A and B are shown apart, each in its own frame.
Chain A
Amino acid sequence: NAGVTQTPKFQVLKTGQSMTLQCAQDMNHEYMSWYRQDPGMGLRLIHYSVGAGITDQGEVPNGYNVSRSTTEDFPLRLLSAAPSQTSVYFCASRLSGGGILETQYFGPGTRLLVL
Chain B
Amino acid sequence: GENVEQHPSTLSVQEGDSAVIKCTYSDSASNYFPWYKQELGKGPQLIIDIRSNVGEKKDQRIAVTLNKTAKHFSLHITETQPEDSAVYFCAASTWTGFQKLVFGTGTRLLVSP
Give per-residue flags for B15-47: 1 if the beta carbon is below 8 A from chain A beta carbons, else 0: 000000000000000011010100001111110
Q: Give residues of chain A (59-107) contacting chain B, Cβ–Cβ below 8 Å.
A: 90, 92, 97-107
**B89 adjacent to A43 (CB under 8 Å):** yes
- Residue from A4, A31, A42, A103 in contact with B89 in the complex, judged by beta carbons closer than 8 Å: A42
Q: Is the interface of B mostly helix, strand, loop or mixed?
A: strand
B105 / chain A contacts, CB cutoff of 8 Å: 40-42
**B43 adjacent to A109 (CB under 8 Å):** yes
Give per-residue flags for B77-113: 1 if the beta carbon is below 8 A from chain A beta carbons, else 0: 0000000000001000101001111011110000000
Chain B, residue nearest A58 (CB):
B100
**B99 adjacent to A99 (CB under 8 Å):** yes
**B43 adjacent to A103 (CB under 8 Å):** no
**B89 adjacent to A104 (CB under 8 Å):** no
> How many inter-chain residue pairs (CB < 8 Å) link A and B?
56
Chain B, residue nearest A45 (CB):
B100
Interface status of A21 (Cβ within 8 A of chain B): no
Q: B54 → chain A, closest Cβ, in Å?
A: 12
Q: How large is the interface on A (under 10, 10 to 19, 20 to 34, 35 or more residues)?
A: 20 to 34
Q: B9 → chain A, closest Cβ, in Å?
A: 7
A43 / chain B contacts, CB cutoff of 8 Å: 44, 89, 103
Complex Cα distance, B85 from A46, in Å, reads 28
Complex Cα distance, B41 from A101, in Å, reads 27
Complex Cα distance, B39 from A47, in Å, reads 24
Q: B47 → chain A, closest Cβ, in Å?
A: 11
Interface status of B51 (Cβ within 8 A of chain A): yes
Complex Cα distance, B89 from A4, in Å, reads 19
Q: B96 → chain A, closest Cβ, in Å?
A: 10
For the A-B complex with A43-B103, A101-B32 known, give 12 more contacts whose Cβ atoms are closer than 8 Å.
Answer: A4-B43, A42-B89, A42-B103, A43-B44, A92-B43, A97-B98, A101-B31, A101-B93, A101-B99, A102-B99, A105-B46, A108-B43
The 9 A-B residue pairs whose C-beta atoms are closest, nearest first, are A106-B43, A97-B98, A42-B103, A43-B103, A42-B105, A101-B32, A106-B44, A108-B43, A103-B46
Q: What would 5 A/B residue contacts be, using CB atoms closer than 8 Å?
A: A42-B4, A48-B100, A99-B99, A104-B46, A106-B44
